[in-house]
Homo-oligomer: A and B are copies of this chain.
């Protein structure tokens, strides 16, 4: 039971804060139907218990020159544990790689990358990605447009009847 500790009000708080964390506790309190003081304590608790991991600003990537997302499926050579470490440590230091997952199946890693354009990405592959240890093959999924983008996680897994 992942979140038996969260009641309906906690969930409302998380819903609002996942959309807009710049609300004052008084504003938030009003939205969720309690008063300021208990609302503040709940927000504290959500931090302390680790439900809220961090508070960040989301920036306009296109204004910064990154017009597209590209997903790269990477095949990695059979490597020692040490070499794999080096690969994943290397990923951490490439700022254009926003996310990295290990995956099941034919390929070994999936990278979400921001890029200014395809030409830049081609250079990025040879200049940066291919230089990582063990990279054997890269298959890219080039995106054209972003139809949905949120960081808000649902508060409870649905059950299907």
Please report A residues at the B interface, Cβ cutoff 8 Å.
2-3, 14, 17-22, 50-66, 69, 71, 73, 88, 91-92, 95-105, 109-110, 114-116, 120, 123-124, 127, 141-158, 160
Inter-chain contact B103/A151, CB cutoff 8 Å:
no
29 A–B contacts from the bound complex (CB under 8 Å)? A18-B58, A19-B54, A20-B55, A20-B56, A21-B57, A22-B54, A22-B55, A52-B58, A53-B57, A54-B57, A55-B56, A56-B58, A58-B151, A64-B153, A91-B148, A95-B154, A96-B158, A98-B152, A98-B153, A99-B150, A100-B146, A101-B144, A101-B146, A102-B144, A102-B145, A104-B143, A105-B142, A109-B147, A127-B160
A55 touches which one: B57, B95, B147 (CB < 8 A)? Answer: B57
Min CB gap A39→B, angstroms: 14
Is A96 in contact with B21, judged by CB distance below 8 angstroms?
A: no
The chain B residue sitting closest to A61, CB to CB, is B153
**A100-B146, A143-B101, A148-B97 in contact; A156/B110 too (CB < 8 A)?**
no
Q: Is the CB of B141 within 8 A of A99?
A: no
Closest to A108 in B: B144
Contact A101 B145 (CB under 8 A): yes
Contact A51:B55 (CB < 8 A) given known A109-B147, A110-B71, A114-B153: no
A120: chain B residues within 8 A (beta carbon): 157
Distance of A103 Cα from B63 Cα, bound (Å):
22
Give Cα distance in the complex from A36 to B146, angstroms: 37
